[in-house]
Amino acid sequence: MRYYQYLQNGTKHVGVEDDAGQVTDLTALNSQIGSTLDLFKAASITGSDIDSVARGILAANKGAATTSAAELLDGAKPGCHWVTLLPPVDAPEVWAFGVTYMDSMRERQAESGSPDVYAKVYDADRPESFFKATLDRLQSPFDDVGIRADSGWDVPEPELAFVTYGGKIVGYTCGNDMSSRTIEGENPLYLPQAKVYDKSASLGPALVSKESIGDAQKLSVTLTIDRDGKEAFRGEANTADMKRDCEYLVGWLTRHNSIPDGTSVMTGTGTIPPPEFTLQAGDVVNITIDKIGTLTNTVVVV
Amino acid sequence: MRYYQYLQNGTKHVGVEDDAGQVTDLTALNSQIGSTLDLFKAASITGSDIDSVARGILAANKGAATTSAAELLDGAKPGCHWVTLLPPVDAPEVWAFGVTYMDSMRERQAESGSPDVYAKVYDADRPESFFKATLDRLQSPFDDVGIRADSGWDVPEPELAFVTYGGKIVGYTCGNDMSSRTIEGENPLYLPQAKVYDKSASLGPALVSKESIGDAQKLSVTLTIDRDGKEAFRGEANTADMKRDCEYLVGWLTRHNSIPDGTSVMTGTGTIPPPEFTLQAGDVVNITIDKIGTLTNTVVVV
Amino acid sequence: MRYYQYLQNGTKHVGVEDDAGQVTDLTALNSQIGSTLDLFKAASITGSDIDSVARGILAANKGAATTSAAELLDGAKPGCHWVTLLPPVDAPEVWAFGVTYMDSMRERQAESGSPDVYAKVYDADRPESFFKATLDRLQSPFDDVGIRADSGWDVPEPELAFVTYGGKIVGYTCGNDMSSRTIEGENPLYLPQAKVYDKSASLGPALVSKESIGDAQKLSVTLTIDRDGKEAFRGEANTADMKRDCEYLVGWLTRHNSIPDGTSVMTGTGTIPPPEFTLQAGDVVNITIDKIGTLTNTVVVV
Amino acid sequence: MRYYQYLQNGTKHVGVEDDAGQVTDLTALNSQIGSTLDLFKAASITGSDIDSVARGILAANKGAATTSAAELLDGAKPGCHWVTLLPPVDAPEVWAFGVTYMDSMRERQAESGSPDVYAKVYDADRPESFFKATLDRLQSPFDDVGIRADSGWDVPEPELAFVTYGGKIVGYTCGNDMSSRTIEGENPLYLPQAKVYDKSASLGPALVSKESIGDAQKLSVTLTIDRDGKEAFRGEANTADMKRDCEYLVGWLTRHNSIPDGTSVMTGTGTIPPPEFTLQAGDVVNITIDKIGTLTNTVVVV
């Protein structure tokens, strides 16, 4: 099942989407449910999973009002705005992995003055992980994402993101890992500055539970960038091409490193715009992943 | 089942006592369980009850370490103190009812310059409820309870207390409703000053779930007051003698009055020391209720 | 100076009104100022008062944008709503005093089956205080206030309210102490049910500092009730007629009773509509106090 | 002046040390002061600095009880423990800079398979910054610090740390930036894994205000490592040898990157044990910086 978090009349709600594409407001049915973390916590305490918990609530509330997911997402678009979508999980930390796809390795080499380090990490057992964002730095679906004013070459990185609870993967969403190629290219030691800055990350629109995603390593990931109403770039990848799968990555992330519940993790990009492309203010970035949906953000200079 | 909250090494724990009197530390088994309200919330979201939730956790953790309840309570006694007991629920509000037993009515009349109001309320449909404490004012088991320096006639009132969640009764504990008879006796309008003051309320030691209490209207309530190591007063009542039962009381409390989850409610006293008795600093008050245990507090002047 | 709290674009702001009636957004000047309690805390730590703190900020930010207070209050009216006014202090508890005016004493006697208790309390040293509301129960200016569905005779009580910090009076605002005369009249022991229920209290629109109020015991208090667009009742009182002044009341309230910072206290009513008057849904209640402003609420049945 | 945070009887206190080395408990004088961030906030709102705020409190409380700083620090040592020292600021984020000293650059080159990147960053305008810790990951003075079980070559890095508020430097403390040379040496892209892991950072024991530190770029920094009761390593550096000063570093950190109040920043190491040295469990690390004091931690394997 798919889970959404959104503001309506100043209050945060959790909605769950069933197989028919209808969203039920769980917060309206039980005011105890104020966030998807509440569902994960209840599932953890009762030894269950959030789909079972959600199904139990729906079964006990047959005939509850629903909205179609399409309507909810439309209502959250800028200009409409009867709801405000939020990241589907209140991730206290967002981490990311790099160089998990061959394409990413090649692009990193192309931009870098130190190309060897990328080849080495691609082939090594130990993957490259880095701290990407705190909850405060996380942008909501349809919110702005930023490019640094001191960077001239900038791209979104469309990535499958997994959500953890108790150090285990419990769900998936779309991640936008905004990156400055100028800064990372200058020196691998500048990675944090290329990756962590105002409005540099976004997650959403939905969280799909681990129970509902099927095979997380067979999802197509599509990136489109619209400029002046026209598609300026389209690229595609598939999580089947990840060199290391999500379970492998979370194992490394939590090695000697405790992460708080809800920590979400971007898993690397398999498609990057070509060298001659750089983002501009006003560009609209759409990241679509099978079974999850489309995460849309508009670019601003920060 | 019985539930305890206690501090150990600076951290709050929730323990559950099984039928054999053995306490399992639920927080140690699942760090998500930081309070009994976490159990009630998980039960509410999953449409279950806390005993079922606790049994599920115990079943999934067979062989987990236990302590006997007797040992836990001994360890919490002043002087020993390897644990510090807390009220068994983080009650954001404590309310109380008055004149729910014939004896209480008579005592109120005896002390009062306006005796009629007590007879009237005893016979009326609408019971007498009042605000008793906030969480900050609530004393833990084995903590001090207070008598006001501006009062000369003071008593503990031993009362069955019920715990609410979603406006419904979900559990029971012992309540000590410390009261100034001087001040209440002077004028019924002084009730809040006779009832709400520093250290005027205590709850504990255990919370017994609604599922485990059996018939809450057939519980003996015993009050003993020890002075200088000797029993200075002993009185007994039984919740069977309540004129109005707990379900009736909660119905009136929540009539046009929303109460937050965890709100706990003292249900009135059926035994009060005789007119010539008043509490002194150093007195030890023990309130024992069937199936719950003994709530012990020491009197100080506030 | 006058202080306001309001929501704008989902964020809480503190505004200060100078002698010329211009409001400066303090939160915009220093994001540390998220509430009036932040100002009181800074004043407490630095041994200052909030007017001095506010003047310091204004002096350091000459030329900062301002709005007229009239515009701000207009913008908060239902239907307009570019801002949402909040109670001017995040009062964790609201207490109230009764029978502090001769008129109130007479009205209480008129409605009561136990008239003596009101005469006695009016003449006694010890005043009548009671718990009125928690922060969650407090209604904002222009919000609804409630009358209980199980009551047939209901009135607003317009009262000067003082705000405390560290147990001392630090400011003043208007209070609406909604009351069921039916229920209180039936038995003085029902006072909590006549006084504490959903939407039974409101504070605002501004907080005037103790330093700016001048003589708090010389303020006219005007109550008007509009029904169907016409004035249905008008009454006036003056805090000069309070039998006990605010300093006297706070001294009694804090006697052996610690109150949290921000606790606000309604000081009793000097004007009550006549016996034949009762509130109806849709009535608009306006409480105007010298130097503070007008607190407006609309009546609903709860 | 120097500021400490410590737990005493389960409550957090802020102490300030005067020029005579006497510590006054500010929390005991004003319960509003629960953390050093409270002092910074009050100073920010009143346009003052924390030394002025503290002096005001001390002047208003002449004759308040004091403890010598030596006694406080002794009392916090393992085994004694009448107080528990905490990091002197509740830093929501800890960042760090690398390669800010010539020595650090050389050591990085010596360990690395990609030595060029360190020479380049040492000479570039843009410094190397990285995310080091969240508040939950921060160890207190006298607490353990960790070495990763999957690393064989580990060192503490003794560093001057600055504390920010509103994006500006407001104070200084000692920082221990525990690092895995094995992991960082393998690939510069592994920096986050070499730097961010359980118990990898510590700050303390005191915070010295910007107003009291004098010239922050003329402080000697001494590292000693004791093993089996004997000094196993001693090294010294001076912040005068930093290639980039603290103001320069904070300017880069906050470029397009908003940091929360209290964020603390380690400024790089000027002394590192020789290649043949690696930490072992049980080693005691002491970092002493002029005017601040000594931060002591014991090494454990995590």
Beta strands in A167-219 (DSSP E): 168-177, 179-180, 201-209
D43 and D110 in a single domain? The answer is: no
Q: Is B191's Cβ below 8 Å from some Cβ in C?
A: yes
The CATH number of the domain holding residue C166 is 3.90.850.10
Q: Is D113's Cβ below 8 Å from some Cβ in B?
A: no
Min Cα distance D97 → chain C (Å) is: 27
- Spell out which residues of chain A touch residue D196, defining contact as CB-CB under 8 Å: 131, 257
Is residue B80 over pLDDT 90?
Answer: no
| Interchain CB distance below 8 Å, A118 and D186 | no
Give the pLDDT band (50/70/90) at residue D115: confident
Strand partners, B4: B15
CA neighbor of C284 nearest in space, from C298, C271, C272, C273? C298
| Interchain CB distance below 8 Å, C256 and B187 | no
C162 and C183 in a single domain? The answer is: yes
Min Cα distance A228 → chain B (Å) is: 46
B282 and B157 in a single domain? The answer is: yes
| Interchain CB distance below 8 Å, C256 and B196 | no
Domain boundary among B42, B58, B85: B85
Domain boundary among C67, C85, C103: C85
With contact defined as beta carbons under 8 Å apart, do C257 and C171 qualify?
no
The pLDDT value recorded for residue C114 is 85
Is residue C127 over pLDDT 90?
Answer: yes
| Interchain CB distance below 8 Å, D47 and C57 | yes
A207 and A228 in a single domain? The answer is: yes
Please tell me whether residue C111 adopts helix, strand or coil conformation. helix
- Spell out which residues of chain B touch residue C128, defining contact as CB-CB under 8 Å: 187, 189-190
A156-196 pLDDT, tens digit each: 999 999 999 999 999 999 999 999 999 999 999 999 999 99
Total structural domains within chain C = 2
The pLDDT value recorded for residue A78 is 83
Strand partners, A264: A94, A163
| Interchain CB distance below 8 Å, B128 and C257 | no
Give the pLDDT band (50/70/90) at residue C212: very high
C137-196 pLDDT, tens digit each: 999 999 999 999 999 999 999 999 999 999 999 999 999 999 999 999 999 999 999 999
Angle at B130 between CA B125 and CA B132, to 5 degrees: 150
CA neighbor of D184 nearest in space, from D120, D94, D122, D111? D111
The tokens for C282 are 């849709």
Q: Is C123's Cβ below 8 Å from some Cβ in B?
A: no
Q: Nearest chain C Cα to B146, which residue?
A: C256
User: A touches which chains (3+ CB pairs under 8 A)?
Assistant: B, C, D
Min Cα distance A279 → chain D (Å) is: 17
pTM above threshold 0.80:
yes
D33 and D117 in a single domain? The answer is: no
Q: How far apart are CA B263 and CA B271, in angstroms?
A: 24
* Residue C266 or C78, more confident: C266
CA neighbor of C2 nearest in space, from C209, C186, C261? C209
What is the residue-averaged pLDDT of chain D? 96
B123 and B229 in a single domain? The answer is: yes
| Interchain CB distance below 8 Å, C32 and D47 | no
Q: Is D44's Cβ below 8 Å from some Cβ in C?
A: yes
- Spell out which residues of chain C touch residue A7, defining contact as CB-CB under 8 Å: 10
Is residue C103 over pLDDT 90?
Answer: no
| Interchain CB distance below 8 Å, C56 and D47 | yes
| Interchain CB distance below 8 Å, A121 and D193 | no
The pLDDT value recorded for residue D81 is 74
- Spell out which residues of chain A touch residue C7, defining contact as CB-CB under 8 Å: 10
Q: Nearest chain A Cα to B61, which residue?
A: A47
- Spell out which residues of chain B touch residue D7, defining contact as CB-CB under 8 Å: 10
User: C touches which chains (3+ CB pairs under 8 A)?
Assistant: A, B, D
C235 and C139 in a single domain? The answer is: yes
Q: How far apart are the first and last CA of chain B?
A: 35
| Interchain CB distance below 8 Å, C93 and B150 | no
Please tell me whether residue C226 adopts helix, strand or coil conformation. strand
CA neighbor of C187 nearest in space, from B95, B265, B129? B129
Q: Give residues 241 to 300 of D whose Cβ lies within 8 Å of A.
A: 255-258, 260
**Alpha carbon D149 to its chain's center:** 24
C132 and C226 in a single domain? The answer is: yes
B276 and B216 in a single domain? The answer is: yes
So what's the ipTM on this one?
Answer: 0.96
The pLDDT value recorded for residue C81 is 74
Domain boundary among D31, D62, D85: D85
What is the residue-averaged pLDDT of chain B? 96
CA neighbor of B138 nearest in space, from B183, B88, B69, B75? B88
B80 and B98 in a single domain? The answer is: no
B99-157 pLDDT, tens digit each: 999 888 888 888 888 888 999 999 999 999 999 999 999 999 999 999 999 999 999 99
What letter would DSSP give residue A79?
Answer: T
- Spell out which residues of chain C touch residue D45, defining contact as CB-CB under 8 Å: 30, 32-33, 38-39, 42, 53, 57
The tokens for D122 are 């040492």
With contact defined as beta carbons under 8 Å apart, do D21 and D49 qualify?
no
Please tell me whether residue B39 adopts helix, strand or coil conformation. helix
| Interchain CB distance below 8 Å, D150 and A260 | no
CA neighbor of D232 nearest in space, from D271, D274, D179? D274
C46 and C182 in a single domain? The answer is: no
Q: How far apart are CA C109 and CA C106, in angstroms?
A: 5
Min Cα distance C234 → chain B (Å) is: 28
- Spell out which residues of chain A touch residue B39, defining contact as CB-CB under 8 Å: 45
CA neighbor of C265 nearest in space, from C133, C192, C163, C138? C163
The pLDDT value recorded for residue B114 is 85
The full length of chain A comes to 302
Question: Beta strand pairing status for D144-147 and D293-301?
Answer: parallel
D170-218 pLDDT, tens digit each: 999 999 999 999 999 999 999 999 999 999 999 999 999 999 999 999 9
Tally of CB atoms within 10 A around C289: 26
Q: How far apart are the first and last CA of chain A?
A: 35
Q: Is C125's Cβ below 8 Å from some Cβ in B?
A: no
B269-291 pLDDT, tens digit each: 999 999 999 999 999 999 999 99
What letter would DSSP give residue A182?
Answer: H
CA neighbor of A258 nearest in space, from A137, A171, A192, A166? A166
Picking from D131, D136, D150, the nearest residue to A196 by CB comes out as D131
Q: How far apart are CA B259 and CA C137, in angstroms?
A: 9
With contact defined as beta carbons under 8 Å apart, do B244 and B100 qualify?
yes
What letter would DSSP give residue B5?
Answer: E
D17-56 pLDDT, tens digit each: 999 999 999 999 999 999 999 999 999 999 999 999 999 9
With contact defined as beta carbons under 8 Å apart, do B264 and B250 qualify?
no
The burial class, CB within 10 Å (0-12 / 13-18 / 19+), for C7 is middle
- Spell out which residues of chain D touch residue B7, defining contact as CB-CB under 8 Å: 10
Q: How far apart are the first and last CA of chain D?
A: 35
With contact defined as beta carbons under 8 Å apart, do B274 and B256 qualify?
no
| Interchain CB distance below 8 Å, D46 and C42 | yes
pLDDT by residue for chain A (302 residues), tens digit each?
999 999 998 899 999 999 999 999 999 999 999 999 999 999 999 999 999 999 999 999 999 999 999 999 999 998 777 899 999 999 999 999 999 998 888 888 888 888 889 999 999 999 999 999 999 999 999 999 999 999 999 999 999 999 999 999 999 999 999 999 999 999 999 999 999 999 999 999 999 999 999 999 999 999 999 999 999 999 999 999 999 999 999 999 999 999 999 999 999 999 999 999 999 999 999 999 999 999 999 999 99
Residue with tokens 């409380």: D61
Give the pLDDT band (50/70/90) at residue C34: very high
| Interchain CB distance below 8 Å, D116 and A121 | no
D104 and D78 in a single domain? The answer is: no
Q: Nearest chain C Cα to D61, which residue?
A: C47
Q: Which domain holds residue D105?
A: 94-301
